Copies of this chain bind each other. A is one copy, B any other.
Amino acid sequence: MATRAESAAVTRRSLLDAAAELLDEGGPEAVTLREVGARAGVTRGAPYRHFAGKDSLLTAVAAEGWERVGDRVQALRADPDLPASERLRGALRALIDVGRRQPHLYQLLFKPQGARGDGLERVRLQLCGPEGDPTAAVRAAGRFQDEFQAIVAALVGEADARHYGALLMTSAHGIAGMELSGHLDGDKWRTTADELVDTLVRMVSDASVTTWET
């Protein structure tokens, strides 16, 4: 029937699916190795055959999350029917949509895991393996950033793609995060994420034109 490597791969996939499911349902606190194992049809110790521990499992979930967002942005960039501004709008919304649809996953994507910094020392990503080489999560996030930057470059040119790309990406992240945390609710701001995205696209288009030679 199934070779050992195959069934192990199936189990690993089930574990990842169960973890992602539990994450969506109840956040990181709800992702219990025991419950993950139960949903995957194994016991509590089995996940340790596939992941170093809970953090490692969640990091793998984050990697797949980044891959999905990267795929979506790549599809936007490669769509020949879309004008450049629409591609950018779509890329910004892609990020915000994850925050809306999978808020817990979204927070995981931007969580500096295993913070080492004390005081002034910066908090560093621990998404790297023992030897320091980037893992799947870092690579997947990097691919998203490359696709995003390419979309921005098509709109504002290569020269400004880095700076304005960073501005757009961080802004989208901020919109998603504050919408998620509820700080955009109420009568205080009276604006929506979509309106903010539109303003961003317009402002960057204008600014990149007027400051093209500065």
Contact = CB atoms under 8 A, between A and B. Distances in A.
Residue with the greatest number of chain B CB neighbours at <10 A, chosen from A112, A162, A207: A112
B103 A183 contact: no
Given A191-B162, A207-B206, A200 B26 contact: no
Residue with the greatest number of chain B CB neighbours at <10 A, chosen from A125, A165, A167, A180: A167
A101 B117 CA distance: 10
20 contacts: A24-B119, A101-B120, A110-B178, A110-B181, A111-B181, A112-B180, A125-B182, A145-B183, A162-B190, A166-B189, A167-B199, A169-B174, A170-B171, A170-B178, A172-B174, A173-B177, A174-B174, A174-B176, A199-B207, A206-B210
Chain A, interface SS category:
helix
Interface residues of A, number: 61
B175 A110 contact: no
A13 interface: no
Nearest to A188: B145
**Copies of the chain in the assembly:** 2
B177 A110 contact: yes
Contacts of A166: 184, 189, 191, 196
Given A26-B115, A120-B101, A189-B165, A125 B174 contact: no
